[in-house]
Amino acid sequence: MSDEYSAIRQLCERYVDAINRRDSEAWVETWAPNGIWDYGVENPPKGREGLTLFWERAMANITGVVIVVNSGVVDSVNGNSATARWYHTEDVQIGEETRMSGVAVYEDNLVRIDGQWRFARRTHDLLYSGNDLQGNFHPYVTR
């Protein structure tokens, strides 16, 4: 299970890294072709086209973002499917004025495609949210 845990955690870290670097292609690559991003809306984005459209709309207003994967568990691995749960710290700036800080739990259904784990369904629930950010965001610059 430790190899599977490492591979699945790496997927979560690639997901977060893509958001922090604002890399839509890398973010969409973490999803299965028919993946579903369930963040509490009635019709969640589905499939890579829907996920790309969601990304473009969501990131258009985000001027700063830092997300960190904290702790997590891989609950089960059954062949090419798995379930996992991860806790993230999320700090976001929208526009010039709105800053939010949060802690979220992600419940994941994963599928292995061509030897690589991908998100089949990702559910996001906020455990804490507030306006506690006092400093300034400094965007990630690729070197």
Question: The tokens of 71 are what?
Answer: 């702790």
pTM listed for this prediction = 0.88
Q: How far apart are CA 60 and CA 54, in angstroms?
A: 10
Read off the pLDDT of residues 43-64 as tens digits, 9 standing for 90 and up: 999 999 999 999 999 999 999 9
Question: The tokens of 105 are what?
Answer: 């739990």
Sheet holding 116-130, edge to edge: 31-38, 116-130, 98-113, 81-94, 62-78
CB 113, CB 32: distance < 8 Å: yes
Q: Which of these, 135, 142, 139, lies nearest to 64 by C-alpha position?
A: 139
Which CATH class for the 2-130 domain?
alpha beta
Read off the pLDDT of residues 105-131 as tens digits, 9 standing for 90 and up: 999 999 999 999 999 999 998 888 887
- Cβ within 8 Å of residue 105, ≥6 positions away: 85, 86, 87, 88, 124, 125, 127
CB 105, CB 127: distance < 8 Å: yes
Q: How far apart are CA 130 and CA 120, in angstroms?
A: 30
* Alpha helices per DSSP H over 40-114: 47-60
